[in-house]
Structures are given as structure tokens and as C-alpha cells.
Amino acid sequence: MTILSEAKQQYNAQPQPPASITADVNEASLVTMKGIASRVVLDRKNGTATKKYRRHILVRLLYWIAFQSSFPYICNRAALKAAEYRRRVAGLITKFFLGRDVVAPVLEVREGSDGFAFVTEYVEGTKPRDTKKARQFLGQISDAFIETGLPPWQVSPSNPRSVGNLIETEDGDYRIIDLESNIVTPMVPISGLWGAARDGHLPAFDDVDVPRLRAFVASHEGELRTTLGPSDYRDLQYAIDRYDYYETLWHSNEPRIWGRITRFVARALDFPGHARALRNRGRKSQVLQQEGGEQQTDSPHSTLNKEHCATC
């Protein structure tokens, strides 16, 4: 989605008013951009980019076909809070892989009479000047997202509109300004396909593979603590927990028939998982038998019985 990028380009191209002009300038200099599925208001003075999703019939229809529910970013607070914490997780993951947080954070999920507004940090800059270089950057981000279980579509080089989700700052760095989808994701990485089916995330829509993410954090705990520092590491754990909570709340209010079917089939066909469960049960049974035998051996009654038998 490129509406934020287009709006920022138009805003940054405007001549700036002289300092002598007073407070009314702020209102006069606000830029509003309308896209197919959303409207964005850029406010350089207050450092915000405020997005409100529109009730576009095609977007709503596609989401309803996939999940039998209304498009969530219009009126579902839990979905927007999940998006807020997903951005926080994504920012800390990029800090781990790249050494800096490149994701514009969410400042507020604001409720109004006509739905919710998604308020993010305003990022000064222009659209990427070198598309090839921008796609290489997106490739790095996409690889990091796939490895950690984050949804990669919005930053995938295979997405023809993903470059529009970037802003190039004055010093040549890239910042991601949009991680939220308008439509059901048309592509899921092969490595994440089984996890998506297992968790009922097919069709896919901005879903984090939380078990994969937690496994990554657990296996890289030392490196993450060193790179992020104690405070950001705790923040990462907290953001994962909050995302998990809000995603569950969001999804529990939707029928998601296709996701329930794929989850049932995936769990039924999870032969490796069933084999592991059987092995674990066998090991547990052996341990219990051994412990039971040891308890009998160590029992004073057991010793007396043995001595009695020996003397008979």
C-alpha cells in the first residue's frame, strides 16, 4: 500500500511557511490523502500520520469471503491493537538484524464516532530514489520476517507495491511506514505454510506465527539480550505477549470457517507431531515405571518382605 508514501511526498514537496505566520498555519498545512481503502492525514508539526480505513466494497467483500466478518481495521479495536504490537515486535526484530529499528511506531489507536483511527509516527523523507536498492533492503527485511514468523507480504520484494511502504530519509536510510494490509495476503512463504495451517491462519491476513516467533526468541536469547539490551529485550517479550492476546481476541470474534477447516486437517495430518506425542508418552510411561520401581525398592515394607521370603 503506497498511500502513506504518496502523501508524504506531496507534503514534503510543499514550500514551508515563514516562521512569522502563526498557529493557523498548522491546520492549513495538513495534507489529506485518499486511497482505495483508507484516508491519511499527515501532520508534520505534531509528528503524526493518522490513517482511517474506508468502507470500500471490494476490500470488505474479499475479507468477508475469507473470514465471514467485517474488515477489522475499521471497527475492531483488538485488530488494531494487535497491529500496534506487531509493529513493535517488527521494529525490535529489525533492530536485532540490522542494528536499528526501521519501523514507524504506532502512537495511538483512537476511537471515534465513525470507527477507529490508526495514529503512527510521521517520518520525514521522500519515496525511495533507487528502486533496486530499496528492493534489496526489503529482501533483508522479508528474510528476517520469514525467519522469525512475522508476516512478510507488506515488505516482500515480490509484492509490486511494497516499495511504496518505505520512506527514504535525508541521510539515505529507509523506514517502513506501512505494515497493515488492505486485502487478504495472496502469498504465504513455504517455510511458514505448515505453521499457518496449524494455527488456522489460512487464508492469511497480517498473522504472526507466534510459536515460531517464541522459538526464535528462546533460541537466540543471549544474542537478543546483547543486541537489544535488557530494556528492549523485556519490551520484545511484552509486545509478543500483547500481540498474542489481541490476536486471539480479534480472531475469536470472527467465524473464520476456512481457517478452522485447515487447522483441523493440519492437526489430523500432523504425523510427525503425533509421533512425537507418542514418543513423549512412551518416555513418560518409562519414567513413571522406573520411579515406581525405585519407590518399591526403597520401601521398608518391600525390604521386610524380601527378608521374610529369604528366611522361609
What is 79-126 written as a DSSP string?
Answer: HHHHHHHHHHHHHHHHHHHHSS--BPPEEEEEEETTEEEEEEE----B
Q: Write 243-246 long-range contacts (CB < 8 A, 24+).
A: 243/82, 243/85, 243/86, 243/89, 243/208, 243/210, 244/210, 246/78, 246/79, 246/81, 246/82, 246/85
Residue 4 has pLDDT above 60, yes or no: no
Q: Rounded to 5 degrees, what angle do the CA atoms 78, 153, 129 make? A: 115
pLDDT class of 266 with cuts at 50, 70, 90: confident
pLDDT of 96: 98
Q: How confident is the model at residue 280 (pLDDT cuts 50, 70, 90)?
A: low
pLDDT band at 282 (very low <50, low <70, confident <90, very high): low
Confidence tier at 293 by pLDDT (50, 70, 90)? low
Model-level pTM? 0.78
Residue 187: the pLDDT is 74
Q: Give the domain ranges of the chain.
A: 3-266
Give pLDDT, residue 288. Answer: 53
Q: Supply 89's cell numbers.
A: 515486535
Q: Tell me the CA distances in angstroms from 60 to 36, 63, 235, 275, one per residue in order.
A: 12, 5, 34, 42
Query: Amino acid identity of 12?
Result: N
Query: Mean pLDDT: which of 9-18, 88-97, 256-265 is highest?
Result: 88-97
**Computed from CA positions of residues 89, 90, 93, 99, in that sequence, does the dihedral angle turn out positive or negative?**
negative
**According to the model, what pLDDT value does residue 107 have?**
98
Which cell goes with 152?
512478510
Short-list 43, 183, 30, CA closest to 108: 43
213 vs 226: CA distance, rounded Å? 18
DSSP E strands: which ranges in the chain?
Answer: 31-34, 38-43, 48-53, 106-112, 115-121, 166-168, 174-176
pLDDT of residue 290: 64
Q: How confident is the model at residue 283 (pLDDT cuts 50, 70, 90)?
A: low
Sign of the dihedral defined by the CA atoms of residues 196, 200, 205, 210, in that order: negative
Cell of 256: 473464520
* pLDDT (tens digit per residue) in 123-159: 999 999 999 999 999 999 999 999 999 999 999 999 9
